[in-house]
Amino acid sequence: MKELFLLGAVFLAVGFFHIGTASAAKCPRVMVLATGGTIAGREIPAAGRTGYKAGVLSVQDLIADVPELREIADVTGEQLCNIDSKDMTDEIWLRLAARVNEIFAADAADAVVIPHGTDTMEETAYFLSLTVKSDKPVVLTGAMRPATAADADGFENLLDAVRVSASGDAVGKGVLVVMNGEIHEARDVTKIHTQNLAAFASPTTGCLGTVKNGIPAFSRAPLRRPKSEALFDLGDVSALPRVDILYGHEGDDGALAFAAEKAGAKGLVYAGMGNGSIPAEAEKALAQVAGRGVIVVRASRSSGGEVTSSVPSSDEAGFIESGALNPQKARVLLRLCLTKTTDAAEIARTFAACR
């Protein structure tokens, strides 16, 4: 009898220990830092199936619409701006990076989730991946259909983004984009479709993982994300230098390279054919502006693959290859490089470390 009593006491103690650890387990603190986009959009009934206004609902509306968030994390919200992401600006980018760094430096959250318009999401994600100095997760998400649509996709995307950010597995994986049940790395992800829910892909590397039935699962780590010492410190930066993208096409005579230089471009990204090839006349024009100090990066208008050094005339002119960066991401990196230096060799080294 005495033994049974003792056994019961041991069971009770073990039971309390387990309950105790479960209830004491730290609930991840996730800050939802909203910027607008279709995820915060409202349909315009008279405007047909695809008509809506982006950036209408507030961060409080977004959080209130997804009560399941509370089961995953201790979620708080903050409105950074409320725009259609086609109107993203340097000022907002700088404010966003500063705010995320501030949140982590103050230990005000374990992760940040950023609802964002899908149109420039990849650029913002890459910008943050080069400027946020923390191993804590930063996850961008959005929607292809406005929040008021009967088949809105934003609720599940927001839920998935919070699930990924709170999972623990996202720590140290850099800035991520979670859309349509897939987890992508900022460097590789791009918007590939104007309307499909499956609007994002990482064409060269594939996604990092998935969220299935609410469970995030990484299948690989982003091994080529920039080392913390390579990140850009935006402390006293109040403006980003002008860099234009020129789109390669049959018969390009290079006139736009001179126009961009005249408009004040400090750098140019040429979205060339295939492996960053540039038509001869355009290459001559670019070589001339490069000779006057404008930094020229060769990227590709092809949606997958890397741009490597393969064109002797471009190499002689000092053009830098974008590697795996698509034109819009090469532009982000070049602008950040130009906040530090105009030295082509130094910028080429930074590209080599990031691409």
The total number of residues written for the chain in this structure = 355
Q: Which is nearer to ligand ASP, 119 or 188 (CB)?
A: 119
Among 43, 66, 85, 139, binds ligand ASP (CB under 6 A): 85
Name the residue whose CB lies closest to ligand ASP: 117
Q: How far is the CB of 88 from ligand ASP (least distance, A)?
A: 8
Residues 101-130: x/- map of binding to ligand ASP (CB under 6 A)? ----------------xxx-----------
Q: How far is the CB of 176 from ligand ASP (least distance, A)?
A: 17
Please report the beta strands in 187-326, taking only residues with DSSP state E, as ranges in sequence order.
190-191, 200-201, 209-212, 215-218, 243-247, 267-272, 295-300, 320-321
Q: Which is nearer to ligand ASP, 91 or 233 (CB)?
A: 91
Q: Which of residues 212-231 bind ligand ASP (CB under 6 A)?
A: none
Report the candidate in 288, 345, 337, 282 with the shortest Cα–Cα distance to residue 317: 288
Q: How far is the CB of 118 from ligand ASP (least distance, A)?
A: 3
The Cα 111–Cα 123 span in angstroms is 20
Q: Which is nearer to ligand ASP, 117 or 174 (CB)?
A: 117
Q: For residue 21, indicate whether it is catalytic.
A: no
**Catalytic, out of 38, 120, 131, 190:** 38
- Torsions phi, psi of 110, nearest 5? -90, -20
The Cα 330–Cα 126 span in angstroms is 10
Beta bridge partner(s), residue 32 = 77, 113
Q: Count of residues binding ligand ASP (CB under 6 A)?
A: 11
Q: How far is the CB of 276 from ligand ASP (least distance, A)?
A: 27
With contact defined as beta carbons under 8 Å apart, do 200 and 56 qualify? no
Report the candidate in 315, 308, 350 with the shortest Cα–Cα distance to residue 332: 350
Measure Cα distances from 252 to 245, 270, 288, 324 in Å. 14, 11, 15, 24
Q: Does 37 bind ligand ASP (CB under 6 A)?
A: yes
Q: Which of residues 52-81 bind ligand ASP (CB under 6 A)?
A: 54
Which residues carry out catalysis? 38
Point out which residues bind ligand ASP (CB under 6 A): 37-38, 54, 84-86, 117-119, 142, 144
